[in-house]
Structures are given as structure tokens and as C-alpha cells.
Chains A and B, each alone.
Chain A
Amino acid sequence: MLLVLLKSIPSFLRFRLITREIYFAGVMSLIIILVSGLFVGMVLGLQGYETLQKYGSESAVGTLVALSLLRELGPVIAALLFASRAGSAMTAEIGLMKATEQLAAMGMMAVDPIARIVAPRFWGGVFSMPLLAAMFSVVGIFGGYLVAVVFIGVDEGSFWSQMQSSVDFRYDVVNGVIKSCFFGVVVTAIAVFEGFDAPPTAEGVSGATTRTVVTSSLAILGLDFVLTAFMFRGVS
């Protein structure tokens, strides 16, 4: 990790290397993020309405959808999807480059593979993750709105006004973004490490890809608990 950070300067001097990785890790993950966000938001709207209407509080469904997504589900599910889609791809790509001697060839050309291959992918993932999580939450809120307001008929004014009065920018939005930044660092660090460390065989690359998804998922869920405990302690 320290090595990657130390060797990141050339990547920032040639930012197009990072831009390219943002495209592969971020832009190419958009479809799965947006579609998943929409459905998660729709389910939240439906379940939220079902529960809240028993207490006559169905107008609070907007608050429930927004807080659930911004604080937890947006960063966590987006990170899990990111680990499965982009993290596994990063590991497989770097692992296969190693297995087919591309990294060795680069080294023999006096080009450091960590600076040229690993660092741009790491930063591409780190920059993409918070943006993907934000988009997941936005589309999720829209999904909740579709179900609760458009399909079920909850009052639109109540839906938005309750959400506006309950959601705090500092505690809810910013903390959610901070969480997704942490997840971005953890997932991409695991992905590039597993790829670079993979045994140069078909079995080795396959095992490394699996380890990326499993380790990242556990790390995301564990880290989420720790971050939540620090961020939302004593906040109503």
C-alpha cells in the first residue's frame, strides 16, 4: 500500500492514465450501479410504505428511503457491487498480465509495473467509488419516489418536505461519502494486491479473483460497522 502511494506521482503527472482507469472502473460499472440503485430504492419505498402506513406515518417514507440510502445502503451496496464488478476485473487483469509475462516484460523495459499498472488502477478505483455510491443513492431515492408517490399515491409534498427536514447534509450526506471513500480505498487496495500477488497460473488468477470479492465484501461490512459506530453515535 505504502509502495503504491510512493509510486503514484508519475500517475498524477500523466493523469490520463488515471482517467482511463476511472473509465474502466467507474463508467463501465454505471449500468449495474444505476439499475441496482433503482430497484433497491423501489423495494425500500414499498417496504417502508407497508410498515409506516400501519402507524399512519406513510408520508415519512421519503425520510426512510433517503436516510437508509445515504447513511448505509448507498455506500455499502455500491461498494459490494463495485468489488464484484470492478475489483474482480482489476485482479483478473493484473493477474493475467503477470501470468502472460507482461509485467516482467515491462520491468525488463525499465518501466516499474507498480507505478505504471498498479498505481493508476488504485487511484481510478478510489476516485470512482464515492461517485458511484452517490449515484446509487440518487437513483435509489428516485426509485423510492416512483413506488411511493407515483404508483402508491403518497403525497408528493410530504414525501419531499419530510425528507428535506430530516436529512442533515453534514451527518448523513457527508458521512455517507466518507464511508464510500474508505470502501474505495479498501476494495481497490485488496484488488490490486491480489492481482499483483496472484500465482501466474489459471488456477492462481481464479483464486485471486475469488479472494478479492470475498475479502472485499467482508472488509466492507466490517468497516461499515466501525465507521457507523464512530459517525452516528448519539445522533438522532
Chain B
Amino acid sequence: MSISRFRLATGVIPRLVVGTSLLLVSGIAAADYALNFQQPVSSIGREVFDLHNLITIICFVIMALVAGVMLWSIAFHRKSSGRKPATFHDNTKLEVLWTVVPFIILVGMAIPSTSALLHMDDTSNSDMTLKITGYQWKWEYEYPAEGIKFMSTLATPRDQINNVADKGEHYLLEVDNNVVLPVGKKIRLLVTANDVLHAWWVPALATKKDAIPGFINELWVKIDEPGIYRGQCAELCGKDHGFMPIVVEAVSDSDFKKWANRQKGQMVAAAAAAGKSWSKADLLKQGEKVYNQNCAACHGATGAGIPGVFPAMAGSKVANGPVNGHLDIVLHGKAGTAMAAFGKQLSDVDIAAVVTYERNSFGNKTGDVIQPSQAKSLR
């Protein structure tokens, strides 16, 4: 009753105002207002957190002094209280003092900063290595000693992003394959990229490093306790920069070993699958999955692309032209464009499947069936 009366009684502008304030109130009720860093869970994270808190406090004190002097002046040195202006315009002692004192404060800040920096830089004596490669717009994780390698992409459904479905608890901070790491081990991270710049950042671990094509950056982390730690790409990398999260799953050393063994088993099974001959129906099914994970971001879920930016798949010259040309562009990319070389990211099965799918979907009717061996021969 009250709601209907409210609707009748209000015009457009008041309704907007009331609507906004209701939104604001509900927002305040629902959102959490974090004011500082996430709780650090690595030795470096704690050191950086302490350093950050120290310099924040110093800056607050300086700001309070400046604002205090300013407010005092505003309150008491005003014409309306009948003051005559003083005439001084120099004071050498004072000027030397406020050059030297800040300098000493800076030295005081530089000492703990230098020690933290030296500590962060020391990647020696690590227990294991994880290689991280940034792609537009996903991460690849490789464990060289364990022989494991996989991609990790955003798991949040499109419907949540487009406000069709309710957003989940870990909206935009969830992936299909978590990167699993043991606690209590010094892990060396090697960071690089395949296409453009990215940056691998997990706030709770205090690990941010640019991923640069052609360069390998090093850093290290030692995670204190098991848990799930979430982060994001921190360097603008194109359209879906905001949609390539990082999820670190820290587990005990024995759980890590079990996980590593399971992963190796899966990789063996995948390699075996590449040897056999696939049916068209299986290829299309697998191809659709691969397409949605890797291609839909640019070429669109319906194959329409974005005119002028990303070419359409529907009616495309490549997807309706010679099979080898199509395979080549998927495997090796196209220089000077955002089209990546998927040969580095996808297995022969996935390449064959996605090319089969693209040639028989979105109105394309070539009828071609491509086998993994064909993809392999063009690598």
C-alpha cells in the first residue's frame, strides 16, 4: 500500500533521488568497506604490510601538521578579526630546518624500504619453480619439475556479468583451474607473457610483477597457511583485462604431491586421446567448449565478432576457405593483430575440434572434419 502511494505521489526527479539514496543505503548495508591491504599470508606480504603502515602513519602525521597550521591561520589570522598583517618574508633558520628535517625523515623511511627490497629480490635457494605466462586473457601455469602445464580462465558465467543472473560470492575472482601451491616452501615464480603486457598480482601474497613478452621476470613467495587467495591481472592488456583473475590454492605439501600426480595422469590421458581418430559429433562437442573458452571473447559467442575490431566467424573467408589456411592461423596467429598463436596454448585435439566447430557452425557449412593428426602435421 505504502509503495503504491509512494509511486503515485512522486515525480521523476524525486523518484531518481529517492532511488539513488535507497541504492546507497542498501549498498552500505551490503558492501564491505575495506580500508587497508588484505591480510598478508606470506613473509614478504607481512614485511610490505608493516612498511606500508609505517609510511602511511608518517604521511598522516605530516598531513595533520600541515592542515593544523593551515586551520590555525585560517581561524586566527584573518582580516575580519581586525588583524594587521605581519611583514616578514624570510627566515633562514626556519628554511634550513624545514629542508633538513624532511630529509632526515626520508632517510628513516628509506632504510626499512631498502631492506624489504633486498629481501624480496633474493630468489636463491628456492624449493620449487612455477612458470606463469600471461595470454589475452588467461594465465598459463607450468610446473617444470613436476611436468605439469595447464591454462586457467575466468569461470564466472557471462550471465552474471551481464546482470541476467545473480552474482556469486567470488564474482570475477574465480577460475576453472586453480594454481595449486604447497605452503611453507620457497617458490620461485617466473613470469612472462605471450602477446602483450600483463601483471601477475595476488594482493595477500604481495606478488606483483609485469609479464612481458620476450622477458622472464623472477620473484618468490612463501605462503604461510593453506587457503584460497585471489588476485587479478594488474596491467592493462586489452578488452578483457578485467576478466583474467588469478586463484592460488595453497595446500599442505602432501596434498600438493597428490594433486601433482593426479594432474600428470590427466595429461597422459589427454596425450592418448590425440592419437585416436575422432567422430564429427565428438569434435563438435569438444570444439564448442574450446571456442567458448578461447575464441568467444573476441569473435563472439554467436560468431559475429566486433565489426572493425575482431572479424566475424560467420561467413568468414578463413573459416570457409582451405582447411590448412584455417589451421595455420589458429596455430600460429596473425602478426600485428590480437589473433594469438593458439598452437602454444591448445592441444592437437583442441585445435582440430575448434577448427571443425568453426567450419560447421554460425551458418558455415563446409562439412569438414579435421583430425588431431592433421593439426599436428602443421605445427
A associates with B = no
